[in-house]
Copies of this chain bind each other. A is one copy, B any other.
Amino acid sequence: MARPAAPAASQAHSAEPTTGPLTPEELQLAFRNRGMPLEAMRHELTPTGLHYLVIHWDIPDIVADGWRLPVGGLVVRPMVLTLDELRARPASTIPVTMECAGNGRARLDPRPLSIPWLTEAIGTAEWTGTPVWPLLEEAGIGPGAVEVVFHGADRGIQGEEEQAYARALTLDEARRPEVLLAYSMNGRPLEPQHGFPLRLIVPGWYGMTSVKWLTSIEVVDSPFQGFQQAVAYHYQQDADDPGTPVTRQEVRALMIPPGIPDFFTRHRLVDAGRLRLAGRAWSGVAPVIRVEVAVDGAWADAVLEAGLGPFAWRGWSFDWVATPGEHELACRATDAAGRVQPLDAPWNHQGMGVNHVQRVAVTVR
């Protein structure tokens, strides 16, 4: 459905990136879409109320009573499941590090106009749910099927198009045993903003794929052309570039800023002497095998912790003897696929996968 004449710049993904100051629209999005304060990386599992949040439109108003999940489209035996039926199925609990594909966007110059993430669109939770593939097998995937579309309840306008949120997975991706229909986060029912009563969890991928507030699952015989699949979430060089789809998380390490901050600037003040720098690192492609820390540009290896599992971040630490003066700290991760974080932000038109190294300026006293 097309929308009647939209006021002001309504197309986040077609408006041109800007070199101008932050706009009121971006501020609204910053307050609605919550970041995880980086000191929360001290928790291996992020407390539910600190996990990052993206809500494209409004949090839908869903009551559990009467909620049903139709599984249909190109299937032999269409099904309709209640929440109790989903909970009665075989369940997995998986720690998953999730990140918004737009994390770091506001570091770009020119700056794509959307949620102006700095570095905080992250979190790690334990998700409990039932794997999606056995359910699809029970429904019987029909001949010619190529993708599974996950439809969400959140509804609004983007790119001048009225839409409900939806994303698709290829059958190969949907087959992965860790792709869950999750009804629980950190041991409790989902809070409304995290997709109550049921959401998709696709470990290793950026967060846009883990559709919240599921309303139906649909098997289709051609690649899904919904806005969030075909237009948004692409690596593009400009508005005319068809680009390539965003999928798995780029490799990334982040540091808990040490010392104490100034309220307004967030500039850090650190006491001289030995201190332990710490943070977390992850990659959606392959295990993180190395984290390095740079003090004033000199890189050295950090110590890696074991981590919670194949889809969650690994802790790292680095002992530093801080000497009085101004210093710049940085960290970068390498994964087993040979991916290394770039020193400078990899610019693209939508501000996707911006995984360059984090830099933290500190004054040591």
Query: Are the CB atoms of B262 and A58 closer together than 8 Å?
Result: no
Query: Are the CB atoms of B49 and A37 closer together than 8 Å?
Result: no
Task: Name the B residues within 8 Å of A77 (CB-CB).
Answer: none
Contact of A49 among B3, B24, B113, B191 (CB under 8 A): B191
Query: Are the CB atoms of A35 and B35 closer together than 8 Å?
Result: no
CB-CB nearest 8 A-B residue pairs: A21-B21, A49-B49, A31-B35, A22-B22, A158-B263, A30-B30, A12-B264, A157-B262
Query: Are the CB atoms of A8 and B265 closer together than 8 Å?
Result: yes
A155 at the A/B interface (Cβ < 8 Å)? Answer: yes
Cα of A262 to Cα of B11 in the assembled complex, Å: 9
A89 at the A/B interface (Cβ < 8 Å)? Answer: no
- CB within 8 Å of B: which residues of A? 3-4, 6-12, 15, 20-32, 34-35, 37, 39-40, 42-43, 47-51, 53, 55-59, 61, 106, 113-114, 116-118, 120, 155-158, 162, 191-194, 257, 260-267, 269, 361, 363, 365
How would you classify the secondary structure of chain A's contact residues: helix, strand, loop or mixed?
loop
Query: Are the CB atoms of A263 and B156 closer together than 8 Å?
Result: yes
A210: shortest Cβ distance to chain B, in Å? 16
Task: Name the B residues within 8 Å of A106 (CB-CB).
Answer: 27
- Extra contacts, 11 of them, besides A11-B264, A15-B264 (Cβ < 8 A), are A7-B265, A7-B363, A32-B266, A40-B59, A48-B48, A48-B49, A49-B50, A49-B53, A49-B191, A49-B194, A50-B192
Cα of A23 to Cα of B11 in the assembled complex, Å: 23
A349: shortest Cβ distance to chain B, in Å? 15
Query: Are the CB atoms of B6 and A267 closer together than 8 Å?
Result: yes
Cα of A267 to Cα of B8 in the assembled complex, Å: 9
25 of the cross-chain contacts (CB-CB < 8 Å) are: A3-B262, A4-B365, A7-B361, A10-B264, A22-B26, A25-B266, A26-B27, A27-B30, A27-B118, A30-B30, A31-B34, A31-B117, A32-B35, A34-B35, A47-B191, A47-B193, A48-B48, A48-B191, A49-B50, A49-B51, A49-B194, A113-B264, A156-B263, A157-B262, A162-B269
Query: Are the CB atoms of B264 and A29 closer together than 8 Å?
Result: yes
Q: Which residue of B lies closest to A37 (CB)?
A: B32
Task: Name the B residues within 8 Å of A114 (CB-CB).
Answer: 264
Q: Which residue of B lies closest to A267 (CB)?
A: B7
A253: shortest Cβ distance to chain B, in Å? 19
Task: Name the B residues within 8 Å of A25 (CB-CB).
Answer: 264-266
Task: Name the B residues within 8 Å of A21 (CB-CB).
Answer: 20-23
A94: shortest Cβ distance to chain B, in Å? 20
Task: Name the B residues within 8 Å of A263 (CB-CB).
Answer: 10, 12, 56-57, 156-158
Task: Name the B residues within 8 Å of A156 (CB-CB).
Answer: 260-263
Q: Which residue of B lies closest to A5 (CB)?
A: B363
Cα of A1 to Cα of B267 in the assembled complex, Å: 17
A158: shortest Cβ distance to chain B, in Å? 4
Q: Which residue of B lies closest to A52 (CB)?
A: B31
A231: shortest Cβ distance to chain B, in Å? 12
Cα of A9 to Cα of B265 in the assembled complex, Å: 7
A264: shortest Cβ distance to chain B, in Å? 4
Q: Which residue of B lies closest to A61 (CB)?
A: B42
Task: Name the B residues within 8 Å of A260 (CB-CB).
Answer: 57-58, 155-157, 162
